[in-house]
Structure 1
Amino acid sequence: MKLDNKVAIVTGAASGIGKEIARVFLAAGGRVAIADLNLERAQETAQELDPSGQRALAVAMDVSNEVQVERGVGLVAQHFGAIDILVSNAGVQIVGPLETFKFSDWKTLLAIHLDGAFLTTRACLNHMYAAGSGTVIYMGSVHSKEASVLKAPYVTAKHGLEGLAKVVAKEGAAHGVRANVICPGFVRTPLVDKQIPEQARDLGISEEDVVKKVMLKETVDGEFTTVEDVAGCALFLASFPSNALTGQSIVVSHGWFMQ
């Protein structure tokens, strides 16, 4: 699977899943914008993944900020001359019971996951439509399919991404643009590591039980999904050659959810 010099914007790419997707895309011959809220970390990641400085570009981007998104996407298009792929990956997690969940936290999470997906998609579609081709990939979750306690806004947002992808797939088809969703299970990133003690506290169980009896209970092998698993799926979707695969979601979860 090759990307043949295609230009990808990966949001939240300074660490975790986004960083691994950027690594895999670069190895496949792509050019990648490392878009992240933390510009310094984005610059460090770009330098680490592409010491030549020719194929990776660090971009400061708060995906919930319309001005920053428009400016950042414009910078990438100007620097590389095109935008072929968007991976809308930036996300946060805030857990807690619904009856005490702060409205401000609810709005923050939805702004990053849903507003961010909308804003980056809209900005990239203008360039993709002009070129007559493009691929949009949303980072969903098994929580795009299932619900878990303590995660009301996250589950809501991840379900919403499936709807957005289907609309982009229908509207984008006439312009050669595809849209799909990757739905990972639990991936052992700092985002998940932060949840383990929080869920242990809120559920009144040990951290070991959070991992074994909550996070990995429904998997076929008791294993976490890896960043490499998710990045491989992203490369498959980004390099798929036709509109035969659009408006779909692919679950990468060690069998936690089967469809």
Structure 2
Amino acid sequence: MNLNGKICIVTGAARGIGAEIAKRYVQSGAKVAIADLALESAEKTAADLTRMGPGEAIGVAMNVTDEAAVNGGVQAVVDTWGGVDVLVSNAGIQIVHELQDFPYDDWKKLLSIHLNGAFLTTKACLPYMYKAGSGTVILMGSVHSKEASPLKAAYVTAKHGLLGLARVIAKEGAAHGVRANVICPGFVKTPLVEKQIPEQARELGISEEEVVNRIMLGGTVDKEFTTVEDVAEIAHLFAAFPTNALTGQSIIVSHGWFME
């Protein structure tokens, strides 16, 4: 299975997991829009991927919490390449506090990026997928779509919500050939996770080494972080899978941290 000629949008793709997914798609022959708040970084990533080939990439400015910005970014992709075949809603942040101390503004910010962002980008892409009679929506969940952890009330709530959203997209999209699935990674060594290590150490009153070995990797089968390459392979599987046999599902990529 490959993505030759498929038009893909990956949000939050200037770096980290999103950039690796975009790289995997370009390697498979896709045309990929690197949609990110940081346009300059997105354009640099896009240029690097285009040089690599065999697909190509462009950078697109997108604030996933702003409906006009999302619609404008999607329209720019359609104007450039003629449609949208694959959406990967990957943009996200992490904010940790005990629930009783969780600032409401932080709660709203996190849910807006994860949930509103997934909703708005999906809503903007579906008309083009429906018109084409096919498409794939991939939402970036987490092991925290299945499990809870202290300090992560907003994140756990948002990631659980993405499962429900994907299932509705799958139900509504089936008649139009559109599939929706969720990737649920464990801890991936990205800047987002690296930022959490000192934050959780402070909040929990333990060492950074304990955060890594006990909190993050303690439940895995091999004490290994999930890699960005691992996640990108699942994103490729979901994007390239040809039928509705694989829709409304979630795949956990976590070194056994969570099993079902």
Q: How does 1:1-259 map to 2 (within 5 A)?
A: 1-51=1-51, 55-259=56-260
Shift of 1:215: 0.4
Q: Which 5+ residue runs of structure 1 have no aligned equivalent?
A: none
Structure 1 residue 51 displacement after superposition: 2.8
The answer (yes or no) to whether the contact 2:77–2:84 under 8 Å persists in 1 is yes
Structure 2 stretches lacking a partner, 5+ long: none
Q: Which amino acid aligns with 1:95?
A: V
Q: CA deviation at 1:52?
A: 8.1
CA distance, structure 1, for counterparts of residue 185 and residue 64 of structure 2: 21
The answer on whether the counterparts of 2:3 and 2:28 sit within 8 Å (CA) in structure 1 is yes
How many corresponding residue pairs?
259
Letter in 2 for 1:97: E
Q: Give the AA of the match of 1:42.
A: A
**Alpha-carbon separation, structure 2, partners of 1:46 and 1:110:** 28
Q: Report how far residue 4 of structure 1 moved.
A: 1.6
Report the AA paired with residue 236 of structure 1: L
Q: For 2:88, what is the secondary structure of its paired residue? A: strand
Task: Report runs of 4+ in structure 1 exceeding 4 Å deviation.
Answer: none
> Aligned partners of 2:68, 2:259: CA distance in 1, in Å?
39
AA paired with 2:44? Answer: E
**More off after superposition, 53-62 vs 6-15:** 53-62
Matched-pair identity in %: 68
Q: SS of the residue aligned with 2:172? A: helix
1:183-216, Cα deviation, whole Å (9 max, x unpaired): 0000000000000000000101000000000000
Name the aligned partner's letter for residue 77 of structure 1: V
RMSD: 1.0
Q: Is the 8 A contact 2:49 2:56 kept in 1?
A: no
Q: Provide the C-alpha distance between the structure 1 equivalents of 2:12 and 2:161, rounded to a whole number of angstroms.
A: 19
Normalised to the residue count of structure 2, the TM-score between the two structures is 0.98
TM-score by length of 1: 0.99
**In the TM superposition, what is the alpha-carbon distance from 1:33 to its structure 2 partner?**
0.2
